[in-house]
Amino acid sequence: MASESITSTEYIKHHLQNLTFGKLPDGSLGLAQDPEQAKAMGFWAINLDTLGFAFLLGILFLFFFSRVAKRATDNVPGGAQNFIEWIIEFIDNSVRGSFSGRNAMVAPLALTIFIWIFLMNLMDLVPVDYLPVLAHSLGLPFLKVVPTTDPNATFGMSIAVFVLVVFYSIKVKGVGGFAGELALQPFSSNNLIIKTLFIPINLFLEGVNLIAKPVSLSLRLFGNMYAGEMIFILLAIMGGSWAAASVGGSSVLFGSQVLLSLGWAIFHILIITLQAFIFMTLTIVYLDMAHQEHH
């Protein structure tokens, strides 16, 4: 796309637009050819690139871990087995440190969340033009390769965590216990009349606190990854502008852009790992809160 004579604004919009499938203005189903068509498709539109890359990376994760598990040995382990065991030990220590209940599902869930989100975030290190240009040559109008820069993906994961939190809150505390937790905290009184007056206030405060969990999970991940993708795109535009404007010092300018991109990429490795870790840790903490009974 960089080779085409388009403005910087058009370049940015193109790279931030998903490959959207839905109902076209003529009533047929197909791919949106511009952002306006994608917006007009409404709620039932599907971002094919987000789903495709997310599922592909999930399958890659499962294939690699299952392959290593089948070949695991008690003798001298290979590099892949050492790496997997180190990750599992790291996740296990994180769960033991943050989760006080008893639930065999939490550790596998934490492992899945951490690795899956890390792999999706890692796509941000693929040069911004490579895959979109390849997709364009195949006739696809858009291709957004980082699933976590799509709020639909981050909200989908956070809503799944939210459903688990509500499910285990009701399972552990019962319907009455869960309702009491929402209606009788944080303000309470031994006086029945005052306690009754506190109920709507408590419901509002605890309801906001409950809804804020999936919202904060999704927006934190989306915001950080979207910002990182924007910086990579701006660096690509900067490099293209320098190359177009330079005559004799093109090698120096090119070297400067490479250093800038490399520096941001190295720093971004920390960001993508940290975001996966934060999402995993908050999931563990929220599930731990769901397993705690308040008397």
Return the active site residues: 216, 220, 224
SS3 sequence of the chain? CCCCCCCHHHHHHHHCCCCEEEECCCCCEEECCCHHHHHHCCCCCEEHHHHHHHHHHHHHHHHHHHHHHHCCCCCCCCHHHHHHHHHHHHHHHHHHHHCCCCCCCHHHHHHHHHHHHHHHHHHHHCCCCHHHHHHHHCCCCCCCCCHHHCHHHHHHHHHHHHHHHHHHHHHHHHHHHHHHHHHCCCCCCCCHHHHHHHHHHHHHHHHHHHHHHHHHHHHHHHHHHHHHHHHHHHHHHHHHHHHHHCCCCHHHHHHHHHHHHHHHHHHHHHHHHHHHHHHHHHHHHHHHHHHCCCC
The Cα–Cα gap between 218 and 224 comes to 10
The Cα–Cα gap between 36 and 86 comes to 47
Strand partners, 23: 29
258 to 235, 261, 290: CA distances (angstroms): 9, 5, 48
